[in-house]
C-alpha cells in the first residue's frame, strides 16, 4: 500500500458517492431529496478535503507511526463512505416509499 494508492482510493470512493448523489437528484427531482442529497455531497467533499489534507501532511517526526497514520486514514475513509452511503440509501428508501 503506497501513498498513490490511498489517494486513488479516496478519489474513487468519494467520487462514487458524489456521482450517486447526482444520479439520485436527477432521478428524483423533489425538493426535499435534492436538499438531503446536496448535504450528503457537501459532507463527501468535506471528507475528501480532510482526508487528502491528512495524507499530504503526516507527522514525520516518528517514522514508526506513519504506517499507523495511513491505516487510520484508510479506516476513516471506509467508515465515512459507509456512513454517506447509508444516508443516501435512507433518503432513497423514503422517496421510494412515497
The x, y and z cell numbers of residue 70, run together, are: 495511513
pLDDT digits (tens, 9 = 90+) for 25-82: 998 887 777 889 999 999 999 999 999 999 998 887 887 888 899 999 999 999 999 9
pTM, to two decimals: 0.89
Give the three-state DSSP class for 30: coil
Alpha-helix runs per DSSP H in 28-65 = 31-56
Amino acid at each position: 500500500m503506497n501513498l498513490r494508492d490511498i489517494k486513488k482510493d479516496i478519489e474513487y470512493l468519494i467520487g462514487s458517492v458524489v456521482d450517486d448523489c447526482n444520479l439520485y437528484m436527477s432521478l428524483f427531482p423533489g425538493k426535499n431529496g435534492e436538499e438531503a442529497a446536496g448535504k450528503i455531497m457537501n459532507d463527501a467533499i468535506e471528507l475528501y478535503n480532510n482526508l487528502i489534507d491528512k495524507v499530504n501532511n503526516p507527522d514525520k517526526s516518528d517514522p514508526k507511526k506513519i504506517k499507523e497514520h495511513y491505516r487510520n486514514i484508510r479506516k476513516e475513509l471506509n467508515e465515512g463512505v459507509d456512513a454517506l452511503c447509508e444516508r443516501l440509501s435512507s433518503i432513497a428508501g423514503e422517496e421510494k416509499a412515497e
